[in-house]
Amino acid sequence: MDLDEESTNLATREYSTALPITVDERYNLIVCKECRIGLPSDWVVAHLKEHHGVRTIIKEVLTLLGVGDYAMTLAEAENWIQNM
């Protein structure tokens, strides 16, 4: 179907262009700009896929955000939230 093909193309085009994420530099925490929630680095890829239909890999996310190979992981985020 034409419509299916159209949406597939759209999804492909979104890949690796603008991911709806940013990083809170103070906490080195990745934040989803659309959902406005903090995402531990080990959740980002699954979150983008499940909630926004965007396929990416963690390396691309980290490169895009310029955080190198460090961003807050789930365990660190839980720690951080508990200490707030």
The residue ranges that bind Zn ion (CB under 5 A) are 32, 34-35, 51
Q: Quote the least distance from Cβ 51 to Zn ion, whole Å.
A: 4
10 vs 35, which CB is nearer to Zn ion?
35
3-class secondary-structure state, position 55: coil
2 vs 10, which CB is nearer to Zn ion?
10
Q: Quote the least distance from Cβ 15 to Zn ion, whole Å.
A: 16
Burial 7-46 (b: 16+ CB within 10 A, else e): eeeeeeebeeeebebebeeeebbbbbeeeeebbbbebbbe
Q: Quote the least distance from Cβ 40 to Zn ion, whole Å.
A: 13
